[in-house]
């Protein structure tokens, strides 16, 4: 089976079949990662560049590990240590790298649509590792993989996405993916952090009361407050945010039911999640990180395979 697309720009343009294919392939790679020898030769003729125009720890390491476990040749690029700092344009940067015979580009960029722009102008396959406030497709795939692994299903599941919805590419990719897979989605957070037209644009419900959202859901995917993306103040203080929207153990205990807690990291401990929740029995945050490698291996493998 093959993907319907040549690039992984977002979940928006994937079909349900594409998503299922990536998730099932990820399961195969997860099995590989349990073996003593965790490496397969699948991409040994492929060169991949990781272009990171924004800071990242988890995603960059996860991609790099996935690439190496698939035996690809890997080139790492960080904007701050490159000619971009000297004013080189994105297109020039990428064309220069491509002239060194690179097959795939994994890119994180602060501007929404930057990978779409590249896809229009260069011949290599593009994998979006997060673009502005638009999408972060591999995060949504690994979140879905982790939800399914923990609860045994996606169809019919109730997922609450909590926090800064407006500035979160994780939220948008999650909403696209989950609603395509038959999951019910509610988003919760302060009204200033929820796009006004969200319920018109996407099949989700909006809740301003976090407690009610938690009571409703099976899984809570808690997002990071992205202070660095807020060009103007959207809530009064982190203190007030944590009082009104932060999740603590007492709140979870009062639900009288078990829910799964997820977070894409990095966590602002004591703001959106208290430490005893992040590290508690309901949390699958580290499983998400583990699954990230298998999911990214699947995505890269399928994209490379499509080209051959």
Partner 1 sequence: MNILLRQVLIADASSPLNGQTQDILIEQGVITAIEPSIAAKDGVQEISAAGLTASAGWVDLFAHLCDPGIEYRETLESGAAAAAAGGYTEVFVLPNTQPVVHNKTQVEYIVQKSNALPVTLRPLGAVTKGIEGKELAEMYDMQNSGAIAFSDGIYPVQSPGLLLKALQYVKAFNGVVIQVPADDSIGKYGLMHEGIISTQLGLPGIPALAEELMVHRDIELLRYTGSQLHITGVSTENSLRMIAAAKAEGLQITCSATPYHVSFCDEDLQTYDTNLKVTPPLRSRADMLALREAVKSGVVDCIASHHIPQNWDHKTCEFEYAKAGMAGLQTAFAAVLTAIPGLSAERIAQLFGGNARSVFALEPATVQKGATANITLFSTGGSTTLSKQNNKSKSYNTPFLDKALKGQVIGIIHKGQLHLNK
Q: Which is nearer to partner 1, 1 or 91 (CB)?
A: 91
Say if CB 155 and CB 182 are below 8 A apart.
yes
Tokens representing 198? 């969200």
**Ramachandran quadrant class, 256 (left: phi over 0; alpha: psi -120 to 50; beta: rest):** left
Only one of the segments 20-28, 116-124, 150-158, 272-280 lies at the binding site for partner 1 (rule: CB under 8 A); that segment is 116-124
The reply on whether position 15 binds partner 1 by CB under 8 A is: no
Tell me how far, at minimum, the Cβ of 90 lies from partner 1, in Å.
Answer: 6
Least distance between partner 1 and beta carbon 136 (Å): 10
Q: Contacts with partner 1 in 184-213 (CB under 8 A)?
A: 195-198, 200-202
- Shortest CB 284 distance to partner 1, Å: 26
Residue 121 contacts partner 1 per CB under 8 A: yes
Long-range contact set of residues 89-93: C-beta below 8 Å, sequence gap at least 24: 90/53, 90/114, 90/117, 90/118, 91/118, 91/121, 91/122, 93/51
Region of 117-125, 145-153, 178-186, 272-280 interacting with partner 1 (CB under 8 A):
117-125
**Where does this chain touch partner 1 (CB under 8 A) — which range of 89-97, 144-152, 283-291, 293-301?**
89-97
Which of 272, 137, 151 minimizes the C-alpha distance to 219? Answer: 151
Choose the binding region for partner 1 from 65-73, 110-118, 149-157, 177-185 (rule: CB under 8 A). 110-118
Token readout for 299 is 């995505």
CA distance 84 to 194: 33
Phi-psi region of 82 (alpha: psi -120 to 50; beta: other; left: phi over 0): beta
Give the SS3 label for residue 264: coil
Q: Tell me if 86 sits within 8 A of 93, measured CB to CB.
A: no
Least gap, CB of 184 to partner 1 (angstroms): 19
Binding flag, residue 297, partner 1 (CB under 8 A)? no
Interface with partner 1 includes 113 (CB under 8 A)?
Answer: yes
CA 259 from centre of chain? 21
Question: Which of residues 67, 135, 164, 274 is near partner 1 by CB under 8 A?
Answer: 135
Residue range at the interface with partner 1 (CB under 8 A); choices 41-49, 88-96, 151-159, 235-243: 88-96
Task: Output phi, psi for 219, to 5 deg.
Answer: -130, 135
Q: Is 232 in the site for partner 1 (CB under 8 A)?
A: yes
Q: By three-state DSSP, how is residue 16 classified?
A: helix
Q: Where are the beta strands (DSSP E) in 158-231?
A: 158-162, 184-188, 205-207, 219-222
Q: Which residues are annotated as a binding site for carbamoyl phosphate?
A: 58-59, 108, 136, 139, 265-266
Which residues contact partner 1 by CB under 8 A?
A: 12, 89-91, 109-114, 116-117, 120-121, 131-135, 169, 172, 195-198, 200-202, 231-232
User: Which parts are annotated binding residues for L-aspartate?
Assistant: 86, 169, 224
């Amino acid at each position: 089976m093959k993907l319907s697309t040549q690039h992984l720009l977002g979940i928006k343009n994937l079909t349900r079949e594409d998503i299922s294919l990536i998730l099932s392939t990820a399961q195969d790679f997860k099995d590989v990662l349990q073996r003593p020898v965790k490496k397969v030769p699948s991409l040994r003729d492929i060169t991949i560049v990781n272009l990171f125009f924004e800071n990242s720890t988890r995603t960059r390491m996860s991609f790099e590990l996935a690439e190496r476990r698939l035996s690809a040749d890997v080139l790492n690029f960080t904007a701050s240590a490159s000619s971009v700092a000297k004013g080189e344009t994105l297109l020039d940067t990428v064309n220069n790298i491509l002239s060194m015979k690179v097959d795939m580009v994994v890119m994180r960029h602060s501007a929404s649509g930057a990978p779409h722009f590249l896809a229009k102008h260069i011949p290599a396959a593009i994998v979006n590792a997060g673009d502005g406030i638009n999408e972060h497709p591999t995060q949504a795939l690994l979140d879905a993989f982790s939800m399914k692994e923990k609860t045994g299903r996606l169809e019919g599941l109730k997922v609450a996405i909590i926090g800064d919805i407006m500035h979160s590419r994780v939220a948008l990719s999650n909403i696209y993916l989950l609603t395509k897979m038959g999951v019910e989605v509610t988003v919760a957070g302060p009204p200033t952090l929820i796009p006004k037209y969200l319920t018109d644009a996407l099949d989700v419900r909006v809740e301003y009361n976090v407690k009610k959202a938690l009571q409703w859901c099976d899984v809570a995917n808690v997002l990071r407050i992205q202070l660095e993306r807020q060009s103007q103040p959207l809530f009064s203080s982190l203190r007030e945010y944590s009082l009104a929207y932060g999740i603590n153990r007492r709140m979870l205990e009062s639900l009288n039911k078990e829910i799964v807690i997820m977070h894409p990291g990095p966590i602002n401990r004591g703001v959106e999640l208290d430490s005893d929740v992040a590290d508690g029995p309901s949390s699958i945050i580290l499983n998400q990180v583990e699954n990230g490698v298998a999911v990214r291996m699947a995505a890269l493998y399928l994209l490379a395979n499509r080209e051959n």
